[in-house]
């Protein structure tokens, strides 16, 4: 699914996972809001999620994902897989247009309505219309700088915001210390 709104970026680097998102909400080609928060902590702060796509759809998915986390609190991949299965097979849910990025101390996951739960090999994951710009910038920063995960996410998001019209500079970044 091509999501033409926002940028969400996750970077796992040097013992920290950071997840950031911009604040722009658009309706068609109009900016409706500049300071939305698309990053949410769940499971008492142990899981961070970011969403791109239709806001109401994303909130419906976040509620369902939070319920799956309560069913499988020690197994985020299982909770994500259960959500993806339900999302793909439920007649109402499968019409929802959003993507989720989910991170915890061990995992970085993309969850889609087509039943996909994907973990990137390099720990860098971006979604939304500026996702590819942010991923490219993050990979370059990891290879060519001494920045930590949070600074890489913020800098890469700023680069994406300079390129993508559906992404702004109102950036929120959350982080978790990773297991070693």
Could you tell me if 30 and 41 are in contact, meaning their C-beta atoms sit under 8 angstroms apart? no
Q: What is the DSSP string of 25-46?
A: EEETTEEEES----EEEETTTT
CA 150 – CA 17 distance, rounded (Å): 8
Question: Which residues have a catalytic role annotated?
Answer: 6
H helix runs in the chain, sequence order: 55-71, 76-89, 131-144, 149-163
39: tokens are 């990053």
13: tokens are 């680097």
In sequence order, which residues have a C-beta less than 8 Å from that of residue 23 and are 6 or more positions away?
Answer: 33, 34, 35, 36, 37, 38, 168, 170, 171, 172
């Amino acid at each position: 699914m091509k999501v033409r709104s926002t940028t969400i970026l996750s970077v796992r680097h040097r013992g920290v996972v950071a997840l950031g998102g911009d604040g722009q909400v658009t309706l068609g080609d109009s900016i409706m809001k500049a300071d939305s928060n698309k990053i949410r902590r769940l499971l008492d702060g142990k899981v961070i999620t970011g969403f791109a796509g239709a806001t109401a759809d994303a909130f419906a998915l976040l509620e369902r994902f939070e319920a799956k986390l309560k069913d499988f609190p020690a197994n985020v991949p299982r909770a994500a897989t259960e959500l993806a299965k339900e999302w793909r097979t439920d007649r109402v849910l499968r019409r929802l247009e959003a993507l989720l990025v989910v991170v915890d101390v061990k995992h970085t996951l993309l969850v889609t309505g087509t039943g996909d739960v994907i973990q990137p090999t390099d720990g860098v994951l971006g979604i939304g219309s500026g996702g590819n710009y942010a991923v490219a910038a993050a990979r370059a920063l990891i290879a060519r700088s001494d920045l930590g995960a949070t600074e890489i996410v913020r800098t890469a998001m700023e680069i994406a915001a300079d390129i993508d019209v559906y992404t702004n500079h109102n950036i929120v970044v959350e982080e978790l210390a990773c297991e070693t």
